[in-house]
Amino acid sequence: MLRCFIISQKQSIHSKWISPFILLFFFLTITLFCWPNTALAAQTIYPFIDNGDGTIFDPNTGLTWEDGTNKTTFNWQDALAYSSDLSIGNCTDWRLPTTKELASIVNRDVSNPAAYPIFDIESGIYWASTPVAGTGKLWFVDFTTGKTGKTADAQELHYVLSVMGGCSLTGDTLAPVVTSPSPADGADNVLVSAVISATFNEDLDPATLTSSTFTINDGTVTGIVSYSNKIAVFTPDPGQLVKGTMYTATLTTGVADVTGNALLEPYSWSFTTESQGDVTPPDNGSVLINGPSLLNNAIVTLTLGAFDDIDVTALQLSNNNVNWSPWESFAATKNWQLLSGDGEKTVYARFKDAAGNISVVYPSNTVTLDQTSPVLTIDTTDLVTSSSELTVSGSREANLTVTVTSSQATAGSPTANGPDGWQSLISNLLPGVNIVTASTTDAAGNSSSVSVTVINDTAPPTGTITINGGSGYANDPNVVLDIAGNGTGSSLVSMRFCEDTGGGCYSDTNWQQWQPFTSSTSFPLSAGEGPKTIFVQFMDDADNTSPLTGISDQIVLDTLGLDFEIFPDPPLLITSSNTYTLAGTKESDLTNMSVTVNSSEMSPISFSDFTWTADLVLQEGMNNITVFAEDVAGNTSSKTVVIEVDTMTSVGIDQLPTLTNNNTLLVAGTAEEDATITVAVKDLTTESVATPCTIDLSSLQTQW
């Protein structure tokens, strides 16, 4: 039997440029040799092409292979990275081959290595990119025998022979590869809350990742598919994963990278969720509100209990079986706040064990919360009394007992005053402030108390009265009384007045009626001039009164006009001096006087008991002098006098002849009224003067 082996001339032909014409030329130029059945003849005919750049093209599959000259060994993850990062033959589309691709270049007619001689392959294990579905193991091809195998140890070091489907110098043509599934293939005890994901060796087109291309158990498990940073994620909907169940995740060939390269084949891996374990919830639970069934404190102590096959680990409480407290560690006793507001209260509890099983809801015993203070009033208001005893009373909640105490007196035991009333006699009141307090407590322990202040005052009030501000005199019988007073521990409430008109104020008949106390009031004095005495009596709110004649004031009533004189008192005074002393008489109580000269005030005025004088400075001519006077009662009067000041004399002589032959001469002229004119003749030779002649003019005469 003859076997033929095709020996070809090495050609530097890249797989992307191979065409049917080149393949025809290749087959026309080969030399066929036939040998007997020898080791060489045992090589199966296989038309591989060595591209001369470290790559070998397989026309049967269209795959381009690394020629095998790299003898470095890698673990599985590093093998994936090495192939992805490989750049030979001017291509960067290299990847780790699948098991099927790697088995396609095995030469099963030879061993050690089971490879075609065009490859520089070692007798040993070469990694495949394909995991073994549902086992967590990885496929490989052992070129010692050419058989496939699988291993669970991804850290084993093996050879790598990279492959690409064709070189695209302007883009990626390599299919994406899953480099790391999660949970790992074959994993168990996976939490039912786990997220399933797969990490790829390159970026994917997110639009190709859908619930149709990424499924769990052929789509029976629902969830949300997402993608980020080379990781496809399947997040199951709550409750979709159940305990103790195996699930298979599948990525279909509909998943593609950003350049449109799809997965070469579906990628699947399996995992098993955690064991169901304990599924029996705690039972025989109980919750007890300790204490009386009627209470006034919303904070209570609970006693709690439940039974579980393993252990009760947590509890949760509610006041209404709707709103629950956060889960907390189980405790047999716990303080708890009831819902506010009076009424019946129930606490609800549920328990959880270590496996997370939750019991049914257990209600507590029912209690009644009463936080409302009982009704209690006291009808007596704060008061002042001069008595040593009084009765206080009020209302109460039906059937409740009232207790009465007093700070400085004896409180009698309260007695019922109807179905909802009470009263108590307070005796032996001491002078001063007494606090009377009534209190009661209801069945829930709520208390109420009310108090009244009682002032015991037996001292008479005191005070003062002042007439017209204390002036001492009045010229108007209607005067103003200023009153001040106070009680001992009490307040003044009333007052009354009496004017002593001669009969005294020792009898009530001479007093006015009581009137409300005020600090100021008007009062009409009795007729007649002279001293007037007014008494006041006070009453405080304890009905204590001041003495009848103990508080008084006096004033002198003077309503007559005052009397003073100016002397002499002619209608007109004439003086030749600019200074003049004006004088007159006055009443003894006239102490306020002033003088004006021509409307300008002049001072001072000098007084004696019954006379007065004023030194005036006058001006030439007529001076109007006004004297004002006021006595201590406020009566006023004024008088006016005119004083003429004349300090100059006016006289004239008619024209006389300068020469005369007569020894007698008539001399005539003019002068002021009432002037006295003296005429004398002087001898110019002898300087002697003749006896003068005197002429008195009348008040109406001005010529002489």
Q: Indicate the range of 49-58, 168-177, 298-307, 600-609 predicted with least confidence.
A: 168-177
Give the position of tokens 């619930």: 211
Judgement on whether residues 20 and 131 belong to the same structural domain of the protein: yes
In angstroms, the Cα distances linking 343 to 59, 293, 303, 348, 375 are 92, 11, 21, 16, 18
Q: Is residue 378 part of a domain?
A: no
From the centroid of its chain, how far is CA 454? 44
Residue 250 has pLDDT above 70, yes or no: yes
Judgement on whether residues 52 and 150 belong to the same structural domain of the protein: yes
Q: Is residue 243 part of a domain?
A: yes
Residue 471 has pLDDT above 50, yes or no: yes
pLDDT tens by residue, 584-631: 888 777 778 888 888 887 767 887 878 888 888 888 889 898 888 888
Cα-flanking dihedrals φ and ψ of residue 82, to 5°?
-60, -50
Q: Would you say 250 and 218 are in contact if contact means Cβ atoms under 8 Å apart? A: yes
Question: What pLDDT does residue 43 have?
Answer: 39
Residue 352 has pLDDT above 80, yes or no: yes
Judgement on whether residues 301 and 361 belong to the same structural domain of the protein: yes
Q: Would you say 223 and 211 are in contact if contact means Cβ atoms under 8 Å apart? A: yes
Most distant CA atoms of the chain, gap in Å: 223
pLDDT tens by residue, 561-572: 777 888 766 657
Question: What pLDDT does residue 451 have?
Answer: 92
C-alpha to C-alpha distance for 633 and 562, rounded to whole angstroms? 10
Considering the chain, what is the average pLDDT of its residues? Answer: 84
Question: What pLDDT does residue 182 have?
Answer: 96
Q: Is residue 552 part of a domain?
A: yes
Domain that holds residue 415: 383-456
Question: What pLDDT does residue 20 have?
Answer: 40
Q: Is residue 377 part of a domain?
A: no
For residue 23, name the pLDDT band (cuts at 50, 70, 90): very low
Judgement on whether residues 517 and 659 belong to the same structural domain of the protein: no
Q: Indicate the range of 109-118, 411-420, 489-498 predicted with least confidence.
A: 411-420
Judgement on whether residues 395 and 433 belong to the same structural domain of the protein: yes
In angstroms, the Cα distances linking 583 to 310, 568, 595, 625, 644 are 132, 8, 11, 12, 16
Give the position of tokens 């004031």: 553
Q: Is residue 374 part of a domain?
A: no
- Number of structural domains (the chain) is 7
Question: What pLDDT does residue 159 have?
Answer: 96
Calculate mean pLDDT across residues 643-668: 74
For residue 198, name the pLDDT band (cuts at 50, 70, 90): very high
**% of the chain exceeding 90 in pLDDT:** 48
Q: Is residue 25 part of a domain?
A: yes
What 3-state class would DSSP assign to 82? helix
In CATH, what number is assigned to the domain containing residue 84?
Answer: 3.10.100
Burial class (CB in 10 A: 0-12, 13-18, 19+), 80: buried
Judgement on whether residues 337 and 413 belong to the same structural domain of the protein: no
- Among 557, 581, 607, where does a domain finish? 557
| Angle value at C-alpha 217, between 216 and 219, nearest 5 degrees | 65
Residue from 200, 252, 254 nearest 228 by CA? 200
**Backbone angle region of 184, left / alpha / beta, with phi > 0 → left and psi within -120 to 50 → alpha:** beta
Tokens of 299: 């904070």
C-alpha to C-alpha distance for 660 and 656, rounded to whole angstroms? 10
Judgement on whether residues 387 and 242 belong to the same structural domain of the protein: no
Q: Is residue 588 part of a domain?
A: yes
Strands across the sheet containing 214-216 = 187-190, 267-273, 246-251, 214-216
Judgement on whether residues 333 and 401 belong to the same structural domain of the protein: no
Judgement on whether residues 300 and 354 belong to the same structural domain of the protein: yes
Residue 140 has pLDDT above 60, yes or no: yes
C-alpha to C-alpha distance for 7 and 40, rounded to whole angstroms? 11
- Among 537, 557, 577, where does a domain finish? 557
Residue 17 has pLDDT above 50, yes or no: no
Calculate mean pLDDT across residues 169-183: 77
Judgement on whether residues 21 and 109 belong to the same structural domain of the protein: yes
Calculate mean pLDDT across residues 455-465: 88
Residue 525 makes CB contacts below 8 A (sequence gap 6+) with 474, 477, 478, 479, 499, 532, 555, 557
C-alpha to C-alpha distance for 252 and 180, rounded to whole angstroms? 16
For residue 541, name the pLDDT band (cuts at 50, 70, 90): confident
**% of the chain exceeding 70 in pLDDT:** 85
On whether the pTM is more than 0.75, the answer is no
Judgement on whether residues 90 and 195 belong to the same structural domain of the protein: no
Residue 169 has pLDDT above 50, yes or no: no
Q: Is residue 375 part of a domain?
A: no
For residue 174, name the pLDDT band (cuts at 50, 70, 90): confident
In CATH, what number is assigned to the domain containing residue 212?
Answer: 2.60.40.3710
- Among 413, 432, 456, where does a domain finish? 456
Q: Would you say 627 and 564 are in contact if contact means Cβ atoms under 8 Å apart? A: yes
Judgement on whether residues 32 and 141 belong to the same structural domain of the protein: yes
Question: What pLDDT does residue 13 have?
Answer: 33
From the centroid of its chain, how far is CA 413? 52
Burial class (CB in 10 A: 0-12, 13-18, 19+), 379: middle
Residue 35 has pLDDT above 50, yes or no: no
Question: What pLDDT does residue 37 have?
Answer: 33
Residue 18 has pLDDT above 50, yes or no: no
In CATH, what number is assigned to the domain containing residue 343?
Answer: 2.60.40.10
Q: Would you say 620 and 645 are in contact if contact means Cβ atoms under 8 Å apart? A: yes
Question: What pLDDT does residue 687 have?
Answer: 63
For residue 16, name the pLDDT band (cuts at 50, 70, 90): very low
pLDDT tens by residue, 413-439: 888 777 888 998 988 888 888 899 999
Q: How many CA atoms lie within 13 A of 418 on its CB side?
A: 7
Q: Would you say 464 and 484 are in contact if contact means Cβ atoms under 8 Å apart? A: yes
